[in-house]
Amino acid sequence: MKSPIGVIVFLSIMFLLDLYVFQSVKTVAQSVSPKNRSAIVFIYWSISVLSCVGFLLFVYTNHHFLGKSIRTYLFATIMGLFLAKLMAILFFVADDVRRSIQWTFGKLFSNNTITENANDSISRSAFISWLGIAAGGSLFGSLLYGFGNKYNYQITHQKLQFNNLPSSFKGLKIVHISDIHSGSFLDKKAVERGIEKIIQQKADLILFTGDLVNDMATEVDSFKDLFCQLKAPLGVYSVLGNHDYGDYVQWPIEGISKEQNLQNLQQVHADLGWRLLMNEHVVIEKNNEQIALLGIENWSAKARFPKHGKMNEAHAGTEKYPFKILLSHDPSHWQAEVLPHYKKVDLTLSGHTHGMQFGFEIPGVKWSPIQYLYKEWAGLYESADQKLYVNRGFGFLGYPGRVGVLPEITVLELI
């Protein structure tokens, strides 16, 4: 958004939001003293001006000027304020609609059959304004709180039963991770603690379902010494996610083309000791029994994401194996292609959604805004004999935090 027009449009939207929210702030400030009212006005508009200045700094500077960490938190704070105001406005608009309807009926019915005491009207508007401010403030506060959760790695244990699983693979322990997003990391020590947690699980097999980077292969450089520590007796396997293709930046960058960047990232997987599966399958053997592990490039049922994956190529030749695991980054692939056309794929592992890094999960209930875009967005899903597990993501993207949906290390035990 470095174009002057884009910047002006966004700042104009911010100003209009501030102006509208301020009307409700004035409503709730009616009962305070003039001195305190002046202080509220000063604080409110000071924060608004600082938000605009912060936005301009983010747009027109780079990480060499402000530092990567400051830029990340600056952007997240500005967006948090923006979303909090949008949340508050939902209440304010509802009150404005209520008062408009009341005023209209008052004009239509001259006999005043529908009336409302003026003091009650002010009281009700003030109450709804307080509700809006409280809702927006709670959202902003939760987003600030979430900054501290981005490295709060949670280990999820899940037992999966399959009747056709070869006996040698009963009890197989798989660690499933996804969406590392190396370019977002700000604290290497914290990431190291996450890697240690993975190692402590002593998995037989480690599977990674894409998005090692945000855009560039070089984002991994500072973390290679950590990721290469991931080892398992049956191997470490990986696939690409939508961010791994470099589709979200303008190339060339630092003299590197988009095609070369993808080749470099493929080499990174090899350097880490991870076997990158590119629309292919491998056979995993244990005690003379075999299962097939399939991996495809990113394939999404959502129109805005390209379909690089070729399931037909990965699946070809696997018919003779009694059990199949598929690595496919985007969970929308399961409903769109796997379930209708590949009935013999027993377990699909995905990531991609991050659980939107925002939501809540309590026993029996889980919710996130991402569920309105993805039917399968976190955890285990089943259809007949086929299962899908969607990992909530190891890293983070955009918002440097987690609210309710924490970074996940999944431990799957096949029984």
**Do 295 and 156 have their domain in common?**
yes
Residues 135 and 192 in one domain: no
Size (the chain), residues: 415
Q: Are residues 122 and 183 in the same domain?
A: no
Whether omega before 306 lies within 30 degrees of 0, making that bond cis, reads no
Q: How many domains does the chain contain in total?
A: 2
CA 112 and chain centroid, separation: 53
Residue tagged 């076997």 (tokens): 275
What's the predicted TM-score (pTM) here? Answer: 0.89
Quick one: 140 and 203 in the same domain? no
Contact present, 347 and 316 (Cβ < 8 Å): no
pLDDT computed for residue 364 by the predictor: 86
Q: Are residues 138 and 180 in the same domain?
A: no
Residues contacting 344, CB < 8 A, separation 6+: 318, 319, 324
Domain boundary among 147, 168, 187: 147
Amino acid 84: pLDDT: 94
* Residue 29: predicted pLDDT: 85
Angle between the N-to-C axes of helices 34-60 and 68-108, in degrees from 0 to 180, rounded to the nearest 10: 130
Same domain assignment for residues 110 and 176: no
The boundaries of the domain holding residue 53 are: 4-147
194 and 106 co-located in one domain: no
- Pairing, β 408-414 against β 173-177: antiparallel
pLDDT for the residue numbered 123 = 62
Q: Is 133 helix (H, G, I), strand (E, B) or coil?
A: helix
167 and 76 in a single domain? The answer is no
Question: Amino acid identity of 310?
Answer: K
Q: Which residues make Cβ contacts (< 8 Å) with residue 328, sequence separation at least 6? A: 209, 239, 295, 296, 299, 309, 334, 338, 348, 349, 350
* Residue ranges for the chain with pLDDT beneath 70: 1-2, 110-124
Query: Which pLDDT does position 118 carry in this prediction?
Result: 47
Residues 9 and 32 reside in one and the same domain: yes
Query: For the chain, how long is the longest CA-to-CA vector?
Result: 90
Q: Are residues 326 and 293 in the same domain?
A: yes
Same structural domain for residues 187 and 242?
yes
Extended beta strands in 173-330, E state: 173-177, 205-208, 236-238, 275-276, 280-286, 289-295, 324-327
Domain stop point among 147, 182, 213 = 147
Q: Which of 147, 171, 193 is the last residue of a domain?
A: 147
- Phi-psi map region of 317: left, alpha, beta (phi>0 left; psi -120 to 50 alpha): left
Nearest partner of 40 among 29, 51, 30, 53, judged by Cα: 29
**139 and 163 together in one domain:** no
CB 142 within 8 A of CB 398: no
CATH of the domain at 365: 3.60.21.10
